[in-house]
Amino acid sequence: DTMKAELLRALAHKEFELHYQPIVNLSDVSVLGYEALLRWRHPEQGLILPDTFIPTAEDSGLIVEIGQWILEQACQDACGWEDGQKVAVNISAVQLHRGDIGASVRQALASTGLPPSRLELELTESVLLNRQEAEATLADIRNLGVGLALDDFGTGFSTFTYLAELPVTRIKLDRHFVSTLETNERSRAILASTINLARNLQLEVTAEGIENMTQLAWLRGVGCDAGQGYLFGKPQRQDLFFPSPSRLV
């Protein structure tokens, strides 16, 4: 249909761009890496957010091609960052099950030379619904040295099964718990327990959606490693984080 044709045209005309949101070490607020977030720079409508077009990209299967572009662009961008800083890339269920995500990842790493340890894939539970099919693919990607983060943690139904069975390296605490921690004792209990669980499983943990100093102080107090949110930075084009010398003169 028309949206699919528009997406094909957007891909051909290079209208997609990646914005980056910093992920920081909560102890000293140093930047550990960035999450890549897809945007569509539409010639007439301006900047379009992913929620409006990713469903069509998934239904039409185009997310496989777009996803390949995202992986390569993200790895290429990360090559210009400080040594050791990671790039986190969101992966859709369709990419995992219909595309060859292992080949996409290998291709992106090979063509850019990014060390695998600097790439992390973000997977939501809905991406992992077909767990048996996902298991072999994810083990293969993990064996390359690429990290695997369980995104929106705490919002799914079979969290513990995924943690037990999949080679996950990081938990990303859903921003709902952070946004309610000041007023909801249960949110605090869930956050503290999950941070403790991550420690026992030797997983890294990132709290999402940190917007104020109260939330930051509380998360530091319970030993959360890393955080992300508007307090540290909104998603932005990378040239706004790292102006090139030519832009400064």
Q: How many residues bind ligand G (CB under 6 A)?
A: 22
Nearest Cα to 32, choosing from 188, 224, 221? 224
Q: Where are the beta strands (DSSP E) in the chain?
A: 16-25, 31-42, 46-48, 86-90, 119-123, 147-153, 170-173, 204-207, 226-228, 236-237
Q: Which is nearer to Mn ion, 173 or 190 (CB)?
A: 173
**Of these partners, Na ion, Mn ion, ligand G, none, which one is at the site of residue 242 (CB under 5 to 8 Å by kind)?**
none
Amino acid at 199: R
Contact 33, 87 (CB under 8 A): yes
Residue nearest to Mn ion (CB): 122
209 binds ligand G (CB under 6 A): yes
Question: Least distance from C-beta 177 to Na ion, angstroms?
Answer: 11
Please give the Cα distance from 164 to 160 (Å, whole number): 6
Which span sits near Mn ion by CB under 5 A: 52-60, 62-70, 149-157, 224-232? Answer: 149-157
Please give the Cα distance from 176 to 186 (Å, whole number): 12
5 binds ligand G (CB under 6 A): no
**Of these partners, Na ion, ligand G, Mn ion, none, which one is at the site of residue 51 (CB under 5 to 8 Å by kind)?**
ligand G
Burial of residue 120 (CB within 10 Å: 0-12, 13-18, 19+) is buried
Site string for Na ion, 133-172 (x = CB under 5 A): ------------------xx--------------------
Please give the Cα distance from 178 to 212 (Å, whole number): 10
Question: Least distance from C-beta 102 to ligand G, angstroms?
Answer: 17
Question: Least distance from C-beta 234 to ligand G, angstroms?
Answer: 7
Q: Which residues bind Mn ion (CB under 5 A)?
A: 90, 122, 151
